[in-house]
Amino acid sequence: MGAHSRGNTLDFLKVANDLLPDGASYDACVGCGICASGCPASGLFGMDPRRFINMAMLGMNEELSTTPWVWACTQCKRCAYLCPMGIDVSQLVGAARGAWATEDKPKGIVRSCAAQKLDESTSAMGLMSEDFVEIVEETLEELHENQPRFADLKVPIDKKGAKFVINQNSREPAVEPEEMAPLWKILDYVGADWTYSSKGWAAENFCMFTGDTEAWKDMVETRVDAMNALESEIWINTECGHSFFTIWQGIEKFGLTANFEAESLVTYYAQWIREGKLPVNSDWNKNNVKFTVQDPCQLVRKSIGDQAAEDLRFVVKTLVGEENFVDMQPCRSANYCCGGGGGFLQAGMASERRAYGKRKFDQVIATEADYVLTPCHNCHSQIEDVGDHFGGAYTVTHLWTLICLSLGILGPDERKYLGPDLADINLPEEE
Amino acid sequence: MKRGTRKIETQLAVIGTGIAGFAASIFARQRGLDVAQFGHSGAMAYTTGYLDLLGVHDRRVRQDPWAALDELRQDEPQHPMSGLSNASIRAAFDGFTDALGDMGIGYTKAGDRNLSGLLPNGLAKPTFSVPDTMLPGITALERGAKTLVVDFEGLQGFSAKAFEVNFRDRWPELSSARLTFPGMENRQVFPEVLARSLETRATQEALAELIRPLLKGVEYVGLPAILGMHMPDEIRARMEEAIGARLFEIPTIPPAVPGIRLRETFERSFPEMGVQLEPQLKVAEVDFRPSGATLHLHGPMEDLEVEASAVLLATGRFLSGGLKSDQDSLSETLLDLPISQPQDRDAWFRQEYLDPRGHPINRLGVEVDGRFQPVAADGAPIHERLFAAGAILAHQDWVRQRCGAGLAIATAHAATESAAAALG
C-alpha cells in the first residue's frame, strides 16, 4: 500500500484538541518516547506513536493523512497506558482512518464491513440470519445424534426474556460449526437460561476498524435493538475481544439506550467455577503440559481492566493446574497487542503484521509454554500465524475447548485446536 | 446499560505509582495492613535503576551518605529526611531492597559508602544501592579492569565509543565495539525492544555468539541495560556462562529498561502480595470523613469506589501530576493541599539555569508534620487519616541532592509507620 490517499486531509492538531479530555494537552508531550519504545508498531512504515504526535504538533497533516501506518497501529491503547500525560494516539489513528477514501482503505477491512451491512445478522462473513439459524439447527441435530449424552441439549434462538443473550463469532457457523458445540455444552452444564438472537448475533465489527463512525454506529444500533427486543437482563460477549469493546463503547459513544448489562464470557466462566456449577479441575493434565494466556487488549486494557485478567487467570489455573501456568511478561493491562487487532489481520499487510507480531512470538517463546489460551478470535489467529511463520511449536486454543476437556465432554470432532498430546485425553466414554 | 461501580475496601489507600507509592505499599504490607494502590504511568520509567540516598550535600559530592545525612540535619532541619534517624533510613532501604530481591530483582544491600554508578555518557555519579546486574561495572571501574563496552546499530542515546572516550583517562583498559543486534537489522531499536528479545534463549545464544569473538582477554563486558525485562539476574548468569566473561549493565537514557523492569515487577508481584493494585487508574476525587475517606476513580468501562481507613499521598511532582502550576501559583492537584510559596512567580527561579544552589520552586511542595501528615498554615493536620511521602514533599531538591530514592523510600517507611499507628 502506497503512502497516498484520495481522502480528506485532516487538521490533526484540531482533531487532537477536540478529542482531549478537560485539562489535558498534547503540548504536554515531553517527547520521552516511552510510547514508541513500548509499541510493537514502531518502525513500521517509518512511523511510531511519538513521531505521529510530533508531526501533528508540527502541522504535517498531509503526511499523517496518507501514512499507511494508521492501518498497522492496532489501536490497542498501550501508548495511552504508558504515557505519563495520558496522550492517546489511537484516537487520532481512528480519525485518520476515517478520512481515507473508501477505495484506498485496506480491501479486507472494507469488504468485511460491507458484508456486515448486507443483512440484520451483522456478520462480517456475510452469513444471513436465516443461514445462521439453519446452521445452528443442523449442528445441533448432529450433536444430538452423535453424542447421546447431549440428546436433550437445547440451543434457544430469539427466546424472549431469557436471562442471557449471547453473541457468536461468524467464524464458527461459517467455517467450523462443530466448534459451537463446546460452548453450548458448557451453558447446558451450568443450566444457563440463555438465547442467541437471529438478528445482530455476530461478534465482530469491522466497521469500527474502517474508521467509518456512522457504520460503526449502525452496527451497534442493529445489535442493541435486537437485544433490547429480547428483553434479556445480560448480554454475554463470547470469546472475542473487539466485539465487546465495540458494543459497550458504541453504546456510550453514540448515546444509545441498552436495556441490558454488558458482560464477558470470561467473567461468567470464573463465576460458574466459583459457584461450583462448572466443576473443572486439572486432573487430566497428568503430563504437566504448560499453558500461557494472551490478555486481549480489547477486553482487558481497553474495557474491564485487570479484573478481567484476574478472572482469566483464575479460570486457566483451575483448568491446567497452577504449577502448569506461566504468565507472559508483560501481561494483564500492560500486555502487548498480538498484532491481530484493529483489522490488521484483514488488512493485507502480512509482512508488517508479522514484524509486529514478532514481539508476541518472543513473549510466548520465553514462557516455554506448549499452549496459548486466549478468549479472542483475532488474537487466536494472529498468534497461530506468527507461530507458524517464525517456527514456534506451541498450539493456540479456546477456553471452551479446555473447559469441556476437563469435564470429560469434549467430543472427538471438537479437538481441532488441541495438539496430538491432548488429542485422546479425557475423551467422553462411549455410550 | 448502566455504568457500573465496583466497590472495594481497604485499610490504606496509596495514591501514586512511583518509587514512594510502591515502597509505601510494600512497607504497609510488611506492617500487616490491607493495602490498595492507584496511579498511572509516572516517572518510574525514567529511573536509571540506581537507588540514591544522599549523593550531594553543601554542593559537594559525598562518599559517606550517613555523615552527609548528619550534616543535612544540621543545615536543613526542614528537609523531609532530617527528622529520620540513620537507623530508620537504613531499615527502610533494607526493607525495600529485600522486597525487590524477593520479587526477582537483586539489589545491593545498604552499605556504609556511596557507590560510583556508571552513566551512559561515560561519567559516574554517587549512588547508594544498585541492581546486581550493574555492580560488576562499578567494580571494573574501581579496578581499572580490562573491559569491553558494546553498543548496537540503531540504538539511540547510548554510545560505547563515547563511554570509552570519556572514561579513557580513568580507565585505560576500556575498549568499545558496535554490533548489530540479532534480528534487529537496519532499524531504530529501543532498549526495551532488545530486552524483550533477550528473554528468549535463542536471542541470548545469538548475542553471546556475536560477543565471544570480540573478547581477546577481556575480563568484563558492559552492555546497555537490556538483559531481559523480568529475570535479569538469571539472564546475566546465563549470558556470562555463554561468553566466558563477567557481564554488567549500564543504564541508558529514558525510557530505560531498569525503570520499566521495576514497574512491571511491582505490577506482577503486588497481586500475589495481596495488594489491590490499579496501575492504570488515577484517583479523580477524595471525600474525607472522620474515620477515613472515599476515593473515586473512573475506569474505561466502570467506576471504582474505594472505602479507605487512611490515605497516603505519593503523587510526585510536575511530571507525575502531583503538583501543577499556572501563571501565578503552584498547587497540589488532587486535594488542593496548601503549598507555602512566595507571593510572586519571579521568586520561583534564580537568574542562571545551572545555578548550583538550585531554584526555589524545586523546594516547594506539601508541608508535613513529624508524622508525615500534611498540615495547614497553622501546623495542624489537614485530616487525621491523611499522610504523604516522596517527591511531593516540600523542603528538598532531590535532583540536585541526588536523594530521590532515599527520600521516597525513607519517607514512605515513616509515613506508613504513622498510618499503621493511626489505624491501631
Do B240 and B266 lie in one domain? The reply is no
Contact B190, A33 (CB under 8 A): yes
Rg (CA), chain B: 22
Q: Mean pLDDT by 10-residue block, N- to C-terminus, for chain B (424 residues)?
A: 91 97 98 96 86 96 98 98 98 97 96 96 96 98 98 94 96 98 88 95 97 96 97 97 98 94 94 92 94 94 96 95 93 96 92 93 97 96 97 97 98 98 94
- The domain of B197 spans 135-250
- Whether residue B119 lies inside any domain: the answer is no
Q: Are residues B160 and B245 in the same domain?
A: yes
CB contacts < 8 Å between A and B, how many? Answer: 101
- Domain shared by B359 and B384, yes or no: yes
| Beta strand B302-313 pairing with B292-298 | antiparallel
Of B43, B230, B300, the CB nearest to A329: B230
Give the minimum alpha-carbon distance from B319 to chain A in angstroms, rounded to a whole number. Answer: 7
Residue B140: inside a domain, yes or no? Answer: yes
SS3 of B275-337: CEEECCECEEEEEEECCEEEEEEECCCEEEEEEEEEEEECCCCCCCCCEEECCCCEEECCCCC
C-alpha cell at B268: 506482577
What does DSSP assign to residue A10? Answer: P
The span from the CA of B29 to the CA of B102, in Å, is: 14
Task: Give a yes or no: residue B169 inside a domain.
Answer: yes
Same-domain check for residues B84 and B206: no
Contact of B393 with B377, CB cutoff 8 Å = no
Q: Give a yes or no: residue B116 inside a domain.
A: no
Q: B121 in a domain, yes or no?
A: no
Residue B274 and residue B236 share a domain: no
State the pairing for strand pair B220-224/B246-250: parallel
Complex confidence, ipTM: 0.91
Same domain, residue pair B267 and B410: yes
Among B67, B68, B69, B71, smallest CA distance to B81 is for B69
Give the pLDDT score at A400.
98
CATH code of B168's domain: 3.40.50.1860
Q: CA A229 to CA A133: how far, in whole Å?
A: 18
Of B227, B250, B273, the domain-final residue? B250
Instruction: Point out the residues of chain A with pLDDT beneath 70.
Output: 1-6, 21-24, 430-431
Q: Classify A430 as helix, strand or coil.
A: coil
Q: Which of B250, B268, B294 is the C-terminal boundary of a domain?
A: B250
How close, in Å, is residue A38 to chain B by CA atoms? 7
DSSP summary character for residue A337: P
Among candidate residues B252, B276, B238, B225, the one with its CA nearest the CA of residue B46: B252
Task: Quote the pLDDT of residue A29.
Answer: 84
> Which cell goes with A383?
498468534
Give the closest of A42, A81, A332 to B41, CB-based.
A81
Contact state of B188 with A43 under an 8 Å Cβ cutoff? yes
CA distance A200 to B310: 48
- Cβ partners under 8 Å of residue B173, min gap 6: B144, B145, B146, B147
pTM over 0.90: yes
pLDDT of residue A19: 78
Q: For residues B83 and B185, state if they share a domain.
A: no
Q: What is the 3-state secondary structure (H, E, C) of A71-83?
A: HCCCCCCHHHHHC
B1 vs A30, A258, A332: nearest CB:
A258
Q: For residue A365, which residues of chain B lie inside 8 Å, CB to CB?
A: 200, 202
Could you tell me which residues come within 8 angstroms of residue B393 by beta carbon, excluding any fewer than 6 positions away? B80, B365, B366, B368, B407, B411
Handedness of CA B94, B95, B97, B98 (dihedral sign): positive
CATH (domain of B407): 3.50.50.60
The answer to whether the CB of B38 falls within 8 A of the CB of B44 is no
- In this complex, do B41 and A303 lie within 8 Å of one another by their Cβ atoms? no
Q: What is the pLDDT of residue A333?
A: 92
Residue B367 C-alpha cell reads as 508541608
Beta strands in B184-281 (DSSP E): 220-224, 246-250, 276-278
Q: In this structure, what C-alpha cell is assigned to residue B270?
A: 503486588
Select from B203, B225, B250 the last residue of a domain: B250
B122 within domain boundaries: no
User: Euclidean distance between the first and final Cα of chain B, in Å?
Assistant: 42
Identify whether residues B173 and B204 lie together within a single domain.
Answer: yes
Q: Nearest chain A Cα to B230, which residue?
A: A329
Give the strand pairing for A234-237 and A261-264. Answer: parallel
Q: Are B270 and B241 members of one domain?
A: no
Cβ contact B321–A84 (<8 Å): yes
Residues of A with CB under 8 A from a CB of B: 30, 32-34, 36-38, 42-43, 81-84, 86, 248, 251-252, 258-262, 301-307, 310, 327, 329-334, 358-359, 362-363, 365-366
Q: How far apart are CA A264 and CA A172, in angstroms?
A: 18
Q: Are B224 and B250 in contact (CB under 8 A)?
A: yes
**B117 domain residue, yes or no:** no
Amino acid letter, A191: G
Q: Residue B4: what pLDDT?
A: 87
Place of cell 490498595: B36
C-alpha–C-alpha distance, residues B287 and B154, integer Å? 50
Based on the fold, state whether residues B412 and B338 are members of the same structural domain: yes
Specify the number of domains making up chain B: 2
Residue B255 lies in a domain: no
**Which residues, 6+ apart, have CB-to-CB distance to B355 below 8 Å?**
none
Query: Is the same domain home to B271 and B213?
Result: no
pLDDT of A23: 59
> Is A145 exposed, middle or buried (CB count within 10 Å of its CB: 0-12, 13-18, 19+)?
exposed
Compute chain A's Rg from CA coordinates. Answer: 22
Nearest one of A65, A29, A27 to A47, comparing CA atoms: A65
| Count of other CB atoms within 10 angstroms of residue B143 | 13
Q: Which helix (H) or strand (E) holds B124?
A: strand B124-127
Residues B193 and B325 placed together within one structural domain of the fold: no
Query: Which among A33, A260, A329 is the nearest to B255, CB-wise?
Result: A33
Count Cβ atoms below 10 Å from residue A427 Cβ, excluding itself.
14
Contacts of residue B237, Cβ cutoff 8 Å, sequence gap at least 6: none
d(CA A117, CA A133): 18
